[in-house]
Structure 1
């Protein structure tokens, strides 16, 4: 393949901090796996075929493009030490067992979200053909609700960034769980088509994603 036709790949990762976040003992979500993935990229010399970038920390303003102000404010202020003072908000925003409060929670959200926004901006600018953010993909988070280990929906925010340049976006989700947060965000618009390949039935989380769910109003069949 000629050098001029090679795809420009950009990979976002913060090797200093991303692998250090800890949801808690026994929790299946383990950010340290991101450090393991990064080590594989280094060991197989894949980094030589891509541009490696440190993601920026997403700002409140960026997260507020989708999430409610009171929810973002809660994520910024709550800590393991003060969470008893936020009992009402913990219940309201469904933060608890599946989505626990842990040290550095807010910066963790800012970091993985920043990587996805950065990737979308690179695609918009034409400086990357492929953008990778292994830390992202937290597709269950809703506007004012944490869900399924997800707090900030970086995918929705990245798609909103893409829509600043592109008329339409096709979103493919191949996680075993339905990408309910992304689908819900764009359920009524024809500018984003969400396609999720997931396990459905037998009370499997999150219990949504029936094949008959095709959007409503302008979003029907998109």
Structure 2
């Protein structure tokens, strides 16, 4: 891809301030650390940087049930006793806790994905990046796997106003079940998920292929623990290339969950930041309008390294392996590098025969598609938001003192839990 591609990057300075709870593995602070690295590497100068739109309840109800969104608006840690029945109805509790500012958090990450979709639709950019998004487990009427509002589904629904076919690719270690379920019956969205299959993980069986009009438009690539860069890339590239050849999407959404990296607190793959990034680079080079989102990732410093590196790939800018000094510098000890050697604790359980079987199964399913589905586009519904009211940030401006003061300085938020990995594995994953 030539360097004249326009990249839009969305970041709300408040999004890293939220706190799921002291023992919860999801740390929104990873977003602030990622953004700090992006700024200090100077990558912001290569992009349009925006403070994103905040999604309304109406935006969220384009996918979610109204009573569920109303619950998210109303519930707080202070009034939670009055919502006992709703907590179980909407699957809110231990994995998906009620915390201060819950609805605001959902509004921020969802609004950024929605705005990215609108900018892509209007050809304002070639690539849109929202590392706070990618919460792929949320269902129409309930929270799931640390995810409350499914920003991905809402963004794809917006893209379908302009694009006859949208491809969704998921490289989080967990199955993109919420997105698959939302589009299981349609051929206008193809979902492709690469994920760990088995106990403690969202299933994602290779035989989940879609139904009715969507039959063969859901593709699952279930992998075993310990998969390394070489094996992962060897299976990723042929599968995605076959999907492109058969489906021919006019837009792509890529969920880049970083819990597929080696040594993640809730993961069991053995990918390096370079291996993970190779998938992002391959999708970028397909030269199709692209919305890039975050997702899982529970070793905070490795998430920040990964998404910063992938930002550099998306803007075609080589960056130094030696990390620049930032306010979070000490969290990258002892190596202070972008690409540390991630020593895996997992043996690779993926045999050559197993991986070949999966690729064959996926390609055989693709051959059952008669052709890329065509859609008769009628009057296009209005965009979800007016681009004339969007605020572009000055890339040369660093965080104001007021924004700095608003940060929650909670020691547990920065803690990666190196000393209690075994205990963390007992927490249900996202």
TM-score, with structure 2 as normaliser: 0.50
Cα separation, 2, equivalents of 1:217 and 1:19: 41
Runs of 4+ with >2 A deviation = none
**Number of paired residues?**
217
Cα separation, 2, equivalents of 1:197 and 1:151: 22
Cα separation, 2, equivalents of 1:35 and 1:64: 28
Deviations 1:174-209 (A, max 9, x none): 0000000000000000000000000001x1322x21
Aligned-CA RMSD value: 1.0
Determine if the alignment matches structure 1 residue 204 to structure 2 residue 200.
Answer: yes
Cα separation, 2, equivalents of 1:162 and 1:204: 33
Q: Helix, strand or coil: the match of 2:113? A: helix
Task: Give 1:158's match in structure 2, choosing from 155, 160, 180.
Answer: 155
Cα separation, 1, equivalents of 2:7 and 2:155: 17
Ranges in structure 2 where 5+ consecutive residues have no aligned partner: 218-430
**Aligned match of 2:7:** 9
Cα separation, 1, equivalents of 2:108 and 2:12: 8
**Aligned match of 1:219:** 214
> What is the 5 A alignment of 1:1-222?
6-15=4-13, 17-201=14-198, 203-206=199-202, 208-222=203-217
Q: CA deviation at 1:79?
A: 0.1
Cα separation, 1, equivalents of 2:176 and 2:7: 25
From the CA coordinates, give the structure whose radius of gyration is larger. 2
Ranges in structure 1 where 5+ consecutive residues have no aligned partner: none
Q: CA deviation at 1:56?
A: 1.0
- Considering Cα pairs closer than 8 Å and 6+ residues apart, tell me whether 1 or 2 has the greater RCO: 2
Cα separation, 1, equivalents of 2:125 and 2:99: 34
Cα separation, 2, equivalents of 1:70 and 1:129: 36
Q: Helix, strand or coil: the match of 2:167? A: strand
Cα separation, 1, equivalents of 2:67 and 2:9: 32
Cα separation, 2, equivalents of 1:165 and 1:126: 11
Cα separation, 2, equivalents of 1:113 and 1:83: 24
Deviations 1:21-53 (A, max 9, x none): 000001010000100000000110000000110
